[in-house]
Amino acid sequence: MDEELNSKPSRLLVLYASQTGNAMDAAERIGREAERGGCPSVQVLSIDHFGASCLPDEKVVIFVVSTTGQGDIPDSMKVFWKSLLQRNLSNQWLEGLHYAVFGLGDSGYQKYNFTAKKLDKRLSDLGAEFLIEKGLGDDQHPSGYEGALDPWLLSLWRRLNIVHPYILPRVSDIMDPSKRSLDQAKFEVLYHFADEIQSKLSTISDLKDTEKVIESALSMSPAQFYYHEKRPEYFLQMITNQRLTEEVDGRDVRHFEFKTTSSLIDYQVGDVLEILPSQNPAAVDAFIQRCNLDPSCYITVIPRESNNQSLGRHSKSLVHPIKLKSFVEYTMDVASASPRRYFFEVMSFYAEAEHEKEKLQYFASPEGRDDLYEYNQKERRSVLEVLEDFPSVQMPFEWLVQLVPPLKTRAFSISSSPSVHPNQVHITVSIVSWTTPFKRQRYGLCSSWLAGLDPCKTNGVYIPALVTQGALRPPPPSVPLILIGPGTGCAPFRAFVEERAMQNLTGSVAPILFFFGCRNQNNDFLYKNFWSSHAHDDGVLSADKGGGFFVAFSRDQPRKVYVQHKMKEESKRIWSLLSAGAAIYIAGSSTKMPADVTSTIEDIIAEESGISKDSAARWLRLLEKAGRFYIEAWS
C-alpha cells in the first residue's frame, strides 16, 4: 500500500518558455483549470527556474513553449534546452515521466512551432511518454493560439483523469463556470504619503531624472519578472526624420537617425535597436480617470510573498517610490495592446451590472472564444476601450498591474554601420496604420510616435533604447554576400553595404549581390541614391567588384515582378558566388517572401548543379548549419 501511494504523482508541474507573454498566459490558465479540477498540487514555473536535471524526479509535466524568430527557442529556455541535449543522457533517462507539450507559433514562418516539435521529440528520445499528441497553437488561426489550446486542453484533462485520477479527479468541474473563483492578485501596490518619501521626490527636469524614473518603473513592472525584460541602455535624441516614400503612394516609410546623449552606442551590423515608445498622455490620463486612480500619489509595486519563485526574488529595498502616473506611462500599455482572455474573466468578478457580468463570463468561456476574438483581437481594442465598454467594472489597481499588457520595446533592424557613423544609430521604419473590420483607424504606437517627432524640437525628448543581437550575424570582409531584402528588408543591408565600403578603403573585400524589391520606381524606391552610388565607380555593389544591384518593381508593368524573378535571371552569378563560399542573407516581411525566396534559391542550386530539388534543400540546410544562410523576418 505504501509503495502504491509513493508511486502516485505528488504534483502537476507546468513549465513555460515565453518571449512575449502568451506562453505564460496559457501556462497559468492550465494551472487554474487543474486546480479547479481538484488537482492537489499545481506549480507553474518559468522554465529557467527549473533545472532540467530534476526532470527524472517528476511524474507529470506539461510544457508550454513559444517559438521566436526563425525557429528559435525563447531566451528563458536556452539553459534548459542545452541541458537536455547532453550526450551522456540515455534513452531511459526520463522513463516514468508523463508529459504533454503545447507550442505557440505562427504558420506564416517557415519553422513553424519548431521549439515545441524539437522538445517533444527530445523528451520522447529520452524515454518520457506523452499523455497526448503535442498541440500547436497558431497565430494565424481565426482565434489565435486558443483555437488549438481549447480542444487540446480538454483532451489533456480527460487523458490525465484516466491515467492519473489522483492528480485530476474532476474533469467536469473545469468546464463548469460556477466553479470559477478569483485568487489574490500576484502583485501588491504600496501607497506612500508625501512626507514618507520627501527625500525621493523630484521634478523630472533633465535626462538624469528621466532615467531614474524609468529605471524605477521598469524595476517594478511585472514584465521584469515574467519576460526577463532588458532595461534601456541608452537614451537617444533624434537628429533626422526623413520620409523615403512619396505622399501619393499611401505608404509612409521613414529614415530615422539618432545620437547618444552620453556614452558611445555599442553595436555591430546585423544588430537590432529596441525602442521603448512613449504613450499618448491623453490616453494615460483617460485610463487613470476611468479607473478612479490618483495620478499624483506615490507607489511601489512588489510581488506577493506567496507567489512562486519567479516572483519571489524581489526586495522592497531595491525599488524607489514613483508617481502612479509614471508607472502607468512607462510600464502599462493602456491604449495600443489588446487585453488577453483572462482579463475578461477577472473583469467579470467586478462587474456590477448583470448584463455586463454575463457578457464577460461568456467572453471568458470556450464557447465565447470566437466572439471574443471578433470583439477584441480582430478590432485590436485597447485596455482603455474595453474598460469604457463595461462601465460598471471597477478593477483594483493590483489586478490592472498584473493584467494590462506591459508596454514593450519595439525592435528595428539597424540600418547603419558604427564604423561609418560613430555615436549614431539609424533605423528604417514603416509607419503602421490600418483600418479594422468595423472601420476603426488604428496606428502603430512606436512608429507613429517616432514619425511625429521633430528633430528640431526634441532637445528635451529622450528615447529609451537598447541594442540586441539580431538574426543576421555580421560576415567577415572575405565572404561573398548574396543579400535579398525587399521593402524595409533592405534596412540591415544598408548597414552591411556601408560597413563593407568602409572595409574596402583599407583592404580587399569579397563581392556583394543585392536584390531589392518595391512597388514603384518613383514612389517607394528606398535609398535609391545610396544603392546607386555603391553600384558605380568601383563601389562594393559594382560589376567591377564582381557585385551587382538588382531591383524588382512589382507594379510598374502589367505582370508583377518580384525579387525571386530577378534572382532567377542571375542564377549563374548566384551559383558562382555560392560555389565560392558566399553567405545568403534574407530580410523582410514574414508572410510569403522568405518561403518564396528560399524555394527560388533551391531551384537555382538544383538547376545550376544538376541535383534534385530535395538535395538542394538539404544542401541549403547544411549551409545554414555552417553559418552561411540567415533569415530575419517580421510581421
Per-residue pLDDT band at 590 (split at 50, 70, 90) = confident
Least confident of 81-85, 100-104, 257-261, 345-349: 257-261
Per-residue pLDDT band at 401 (split at 50, 70, 90) = very high
With beta carbons less than 8 A apart as the criterion, state whether 286 and 437 touch: no
What's the CATH code of the domain at 29?
3.40.50.360
Does the annotation list 297 as a binding residue? no
Bridge partners (DSSP) listed for residue 39: none
C-alpha distances (whole Å) from 152 to each of 26, 30, 121 are 12, 11, 18
Q: Exposure of 66 by Cβ count < 10 A (0-12 exposed, 13-18 middle, 19+ buried)?
A: buried
Q: Is the pLDDT of residue 288 over 90?
A: yes
User: With pLDDT > 70 as the criterion, what percentage of the chain qualifies?
Assistant: 92
Chosen domain end from 132, 163, 179: 179
Mean pLDDT of 235-243: 95
Mean pLDDT of 561-568: 96
Least confident of 53-57, 115-119, 179-183, 533-537: 179-183
Mean pLDDT of 352-381: 92
Does the annotation list 283 as a binding residue? no
Does the annotation list 20 as a binding residue? yes
Does the annotation list 282 as a binding residue? no
Chosen domain end from 129, 144, 179: 179
Structural domain span for residue 46: 2-179
Does the annotation list 436 as a binding residue? no
Does the annotation list 108 as a binding residue? no
Q: Does residue 424 lie within any of the structural domains?
A: no
Q: Does residue 77 lie within any of the structural domains?
A: yes
Q: Does residue 388 lie within any of the structural domains?
A: no
pLDDT at 227: 63
Residue 451: how many other CB atoms lie within 10 Å: 18
Mean pLDDT of 279-298: 96
Q: Does residue 575 lie within any of the structural domains?
A: yes
Does the annotation list 539 as a binding residue? no
Angle between helices 593-609 and 571-579 (to 10 degrees): 80
How many domains does one find in the chain? Answer: 2
User: With pLDDT > 90 as the criterion, what percentage of the chain qualifies?
Assistant: 72
> Rounded to 5 degrees, what are φ and ψ at 126?
-90, 5
What's the CATH code of the domain at 573?
3.40.50.80
Mean pLDDT of 274-298: 96
With beta carbons less than 8 A apart as the criterion, state whether 18 and 225 touch: no
Per-residue pLDDT band at 409 (split at 50, 70, 90) = very high
Cell readout for 392 is 460598471
pLDDT at 238: 95
Please name the residue that has the C-alpha cell 481538484: 38
Does the annotation list 346 as a binding residue? no
Q: Which residues, at least 6 apart from 27, have a Cβ–Cβ distance to it below 8 Å?
A: 14, 15, 16, 18, 44, 62, 64
Does the annotation list 248 as a binding residue? no
Does the annotation list 93 as a binding residue? no
Q: What is the mean pLDDT of the chain?
A: 90
Q: Does residue 273 lie within any of the structural domains?
A: no
pLDDT at 548: 96
Q: How far apart (Å, rounded) are the C-alpha atoms in residues 394 and 426? A: 44
Per-residue pLDDT band at 226 (split at 50, 70, 90) = low
Q: Does residue 67 lie within any of the structural domains?
A: yes
pLDDT at 262: 75
Q: Does residue 256 lie within any of the structural domains?
A: no
Does the annotation list 18 as a binding residue? yes
The 10s digit of each residue's pLDDT in 116-156 is 999 999 999 999 999 999 999 998 887 788 889 999 999 99
With beta carbons less than 8 A apart as the criterion, state whether 241 and 256 touch: yes
Q: How far apart (Å, rounded) are the C-alpha atoms in residues 516 and 423? A: 28
Q: Does residue 608 lie within any of the structural domains?
A: yes
More confident site: 219 or 277: 277
Mean pLDDT of 584-606: 93
pLDDT at 109: 77
Per-residue pLDDT band at 366 (split at 50, 70, 90) = confident
- What count of residues does the chain have? 635
Q: Exposure of 4 by Cβ count < 10 A (0-12 exposed, 13-18 middle, 19+ buried)?
A: exposed
Q: Is the pLDDT of residue 515 over 70?
A: yes
CA angle 155, 161, 167 (to 5 degrees): 125
With beta carbons less than 8 A apart as the criterion, state whether 331 and 406 touch: yes
pLDDT at 248: 75
Per-residue pLDDT band at 204 (split at 50, 70, 90) = very low
Nearest residue to 267 (alpha-carbon basis) of 465, 464, 74: 465
Least confident of 106-120, 221-235, 278-292, 406-420: 221-235
Does the annotation list 182 as a binding residue? no
pLDDT at 313: 43
Least confident of 219-233, 376-390, 462-476: 219-233
Does the annotation list 307 as a binding residue? no
> In 3-state terms, what secondary structure has residue 514?
strand
Q: Is the pLDDT of residue 84 over 90?
A: yes
Does the annotation list 547 as a binding residue? no
Does the annotation list 410 as a binding residue? yes
Q: Is the pLDDT of residue 194 over 80?
A: no
Question: In this structure, what DSSP letter does residue 50 have?
Answer: S
Q: How far apart (Å, rounded) are the C-alpha atoms in residues 77 and 65? A: 9
Does the annotation list 221 as a binding residue? no
With beta carbons less than 8 A apart as the criterion, state whether 104 and 145 touch: yes
Greatest Cα-to-Cα distance within the chain, rounded to the nearest angstrom: 87
Q: How far apart (Å, rounded) are the C-alpha atoms in residues 583 and 496? A: 12
Does the annotation list 48 as a binding residue? no
C-alpha distances (whole Å) from 522 to each of 248, 526, 553 are 10, 10, 10
Does the annotation list 291 as a binding residue? no
With beta carbons less than 8 A apart as the criterion, state whether 308 and 44 touch: yes
Mean pLDDT of 555-582: 95
Chosen domain end from 133, 162, 179: 179
With beta carbons less than 8 A apart as the criterion, state whether 265 and 273 touch: no
- What is the pTM assigned to this prediction? 0.89
With beta carbons less than 8 A apart as the criterion, state whether 549 and 534 touch: yes
Least confident of 90-104, 229-243, 486-500: 229-243
Helices (H), 516-592: 528-534, 563-569, 571-579
Does the annotation list 555 as a binding residue? yes
pLDDT at 9: 56
pLDDT at 6: 44
With beta carbons less than 8 A apart as the criterion, state whether 375 and 362 touch: no
Does the annotation list 596 as a binding residue? yes
Mean pLDDT of 469-476: 92
Does the annotation list 560 as a binding residue? yes
Q: How far apart (Å, rounded) are the C-alpha atoms in residues 417 and 30? A: 46
Per-residue pLDDT band at 621 (split at 50, 70, 90) = very high
With beta carbons less than 8 A apart as the criterion, state whether 535 and 544 touch: no
Please name the residue that has the C-alpha cell 509503495: 3
Does the annotation list 562 as a binding residue? yes
